[in-house]
Amino acid sequence: MSLRTEKVSELVKKLAAEFLSREADKSSIITVTRANISDDLKNATIFFSVYPEKSEDAALNFAKRKRSELKKYIKSKLRMKRIPFFDFEIDYGEKNRQRIDELSNSSRQK
């Protein structure tokens, strides 16, 4: 990944987190964990986790419905010739890490 792609990825992650926290229903917490952007900057996948977990499907559907608004928001904040197409996914890697931490902590307490 080039330096420019990494910078854009971090900025998109930050702006997506701001947008989702502002627009989302307050009954769940959406945390953007990372953003992967293709080298040609045409596609971006935003990974996030949701608490409580039972709200994951609703949050994913919400994020996909707000895709065009997110694109407008990011376009207003970044000076780029082309804004990528955004896709959203639940970050199962983060969920697995949290589960490993829970198991590790419970084994230490025994």
Could you report the per-residue pLDDT of 6-38, keeping only the tens digit for each? 999 999 999 999 999 999 888 889 999 999 999
Q: What is the pLDDT of residues 67-87, one digit of tens each?
A: 999 999 999 998 888 899 999
Tokens of 35: 């953003």
HSE-up (13 A, CA, CB side) for residue 74: 25
| 33 to 16, 30, 94: CA distances (angstroms) | 10, 9, 8
SS3 for 43?
strand
CATH number, domain containing residue 96? 3.30.300.20
The CB density around residue 44, as the number of other CB atoms within 10 Å, is 23
Tokens of 48: 């996030």
- Percent of the chain residues topping a pLDDT of 90: 60
Which residue range(s) make up the domain with 67?
3-109
Total count of domains within the chain: 1
